[in-house]
Amino acid sequence: MGRWDRIQRALSFPWAPFLQRHRPIPGGAACVMIAVLEEIVMSTATVAEVQTSGVRLHVPGPIVSPDWVAHHLNHPTLCLLDVRAQESYDEGHIPGAVWVDLAAFDEIQNGVPGMLVPPELFTHAMSRLGVDQGQAVVIYDDNWGLPAARLLWALARYGHANAAVLTGGSDRWVEEGGPWTPDRFVASPADFVVQPEDGHLAERDWLRAWIGHPALVLLDTRAPGEYAQGHIPGAICWDWINGVPAGSWDTCRPAGELLAELTQLGVTADKEIVTYCRSGVRAAHTYLLLRSLGYPHVRLYDGSWLEWSRYQGGENGGGPVDDTY
């Protein structure tokens, strides 16, 4: 690109920050003006190159820190999804974040509420949010990653592995001085393509066939009182809140503590692990926790207790219920 071409290109970029640095410009000092214009071009070239080079951002794991998000906040392939209540989003959010109505991803199936929507509806909802396969998705909430984990699991189930939950959510982000804005961001529609990954999902028939197998570990992530009233046979009671650190906004306790505790319960990486709760939300948090610890075989039973208890003993072939603690 020649000198004059660079000057012409520079005319489309904001002048103020650069002119303020070079004032005063002597009258008739054309060479200084050219230097200013060239600096504008060179200073914006890096951004333009990133936008057009096709360089994609990849999350380092299923949980990311505020520092990581802040460092990549302006990356063109970062997609931030805010799953808090809409009024919370309207009061303020991370710049560039899109508000997500989680109700768009759940439906009633065969009388069971809270089930993940089928592929065509998921595709439509994600495309409206501006999500496609080329983006690194980071989801955040204000509840220790609980609702964010549910959406992360849904993305994994439908083939988008490049996604993470922001540890500490909006609370830690604000506490650490991250940028915050009330300005609503509307994403450009994208073309999300579903590629189902069955290894993240446990369905009722699959689970019935596996119950009692020595390679299966079934984690009931409800409260002990719920577990005592009835649970899937062989399930281990491990309340999801056990994974959350006391006095912190973070999504999970330190990895070393969790691994020691889970190993003692027989939850080891060589097993096929299934998490469930009442409706698949708390179980999603434990799913996220296990994936972040490096467990390679973790599924979520989407129907969870609402489905299992509805069909147990019925004509549709439900599963047995254990009411012993």
Count Cα atoms within 13 angstroms, Cβ side, for 244: 18
Q: What is the 3-state secondary structure (H, E, C) of 9-78?
A: HHCCCCCHHHHHHHCCCCCCCHHHHHHHHHHHHHHHHHHHHHHHHCCCCCCCCCEECHHHHHHCCCCCCE
Rounded CA-CA distance 224/242 in Å is: 11
Let me know if 325 is exposed, middle or buried by CB neighbors in 10 A (0-12, 13-18, 19+). exposed
Rounded CA-CA distance 151/163 in Å is: 10
Do 227 and 276 contact (CB within 8 A), yes or no? no
Sign for the CA dihedral angle at 258, 261, 267, 268 comes to positive
Rounded CA-CA distance 118/105 in Å is: 9
Do 68 and 79 contact (CB within 8 A), yes or no? no
Rounded CA-CA distance 134/149 in Å is: 20
Rounded CA-CA distance 254/232 in Å is: 29
Select which of 31, 237, 252, 277 is catalytic.
277
Do 62 and 31 contact (CB within 8 A), yes or no? no
Q: Which residue in the block uniquely carries the two structure tokens 């434990």?
A: 286
Residue spans of beta strands (DSSP E) within the chain: 63-64, 78-82, 98-99, 106-109, 112-116, 136-140, 163-166, 201-202, 216-220, 236-237, 272-276, 298-301
* Catalytic-residue membership of 277: yes
Which residues, at least 6 apart from 306, have a Cβ–Cβ distance to it below 8 Å?
112, 113, 114, 278, 279
**Residues marked as catalytic:** 277
